[in-house]
Chain A
Amino acid sequence: MWNTMMQNNLGWKQGAKDGLPIALGYLSVSFTFGMAAAAAGLSAGEAVMISATNLTSAGQFAGLTLIQSQASLFEMALTTLVINLRYALMSLSLAQKLDPAMSRLQKAMLAFGNTDEIFAVAVSHPVVQFHYMLGLILTPMAGWVGGTFLGCAFSALLPEAVRAAFAVAIYGMFIAIVAPVARQLKSVAIVVGIAVAMSVTLHVCPLFSWISEGFSIILSTLAAAALGAWLFPVQEVHDHE
């Protein structure tokens, strides 16, 4: 026992420690999610349930806007699929680093916590051990779920006029994610411009009024990302992350 611990010197404690900076980063984002969820009329329990089962930022925020617009379950599934498609790519990449001695059940457990940030830290090691990655998932997940609860609880204490203003929080966050990257990379700026133009056109033009909001988002995303990939192929996908 003592010997194996020495050999996998990167045990769950080291993982949990490495996950701490991620957890702190997640706190503020999930706090915003909690406030947005409360503004959308969800209870703290419901918001925590979403955070604990999804562990993804953009996907959850998108889900929240779809819940608000009472979208169909098909739209929900398709939107989640499109937004979180990148995880499939990350999981493919992570699969090559996982300890070959790991069982399928262990791999299936770790897959749940493969977020952008956890993935980035995990694949920085030549081989990813089960216990290490378990720890690396544990602290960020605690931060994510805890922050969601705090955000929800905090907004419940506030007067109605303040809570109503939180409805814009979600979009403020989206803009905060996209704007700095669009400023840095012209290709991203153009992709964003195409997505906005198309989304607004589908929304405003009476010809397209039969397209629901959820599908308009999916169509705009697919078209803009495909055009971007065609016009500006990315050399190294990881040079951004």
Chain B
Amino acid sequence: MEEKKDYKLYLDTATMAGKLMLQNGAEIYRVEDTIRRMLEVSGLKTAEAYVTATGIMVTLDDPKEDSMTVIKRIPSRGTDLNTVSMVNDISRKFCSGQMTLKEAFHDLKHLDSRQYTELQKALGIIAVSLFFALVFGGTWKDALAAGIDGVLIVMALWLSKWLELNPFMETMFSSVLLAAGAVIMSWFMDINVEMVIIGAIMPIVPGAAFTIAIRDTLQGDYVAGSAKALESIIKVAAIVVGAGLGMLMAGGFRL
């Protein structure tokens, strides 16, 4: 009887590891691989993991045992690469026997990946805008204007979080603000509006979704790959419409 409980813990631990990875920007095949490896440690004959972009299904089965299945729905997805890296470490240690099942479960349950404050992340967004204006060949003035646009993006993101806007509206709102901001700043400063905007949109460009879409598709996970590709296309559409709208509102097309 006690052994059976043990198997349930195996299942819970593996599913939790998978959930944490999937939520934070790991590819499907890596999530499936991690779950399968962790379940294989239990020594049971069948360990199957089926992962999609929005859910995890795991089964553990053996001729001697009743089969057990767990289904987990993944409601929200973001990018937190520290979590991915930490879960990977835990699973590596667990599979090589350096960590017991209970330790692994405890560590996963109390995983704390926070290492930067909200302020540091906001400064990060501003710095991304600022430096990308320089990367694309802008002048120091362009970079400064892009940095101010970065502040606008941070404010837009905070406001959308408060209003609980969906990702499309959130991206479009930021895009409208930064485009309008760039045009308005060009009235007072000698800046290249195009350079400022292409630098400033970089923090909201769906680079992570794009990268994961590529790698999922390569592994043959076409459903997850196309879901991610669609996510990046939707965000791109939001940026395009927002930038156009912002410039239109501020009168940028008379240039």
A and B bound? no
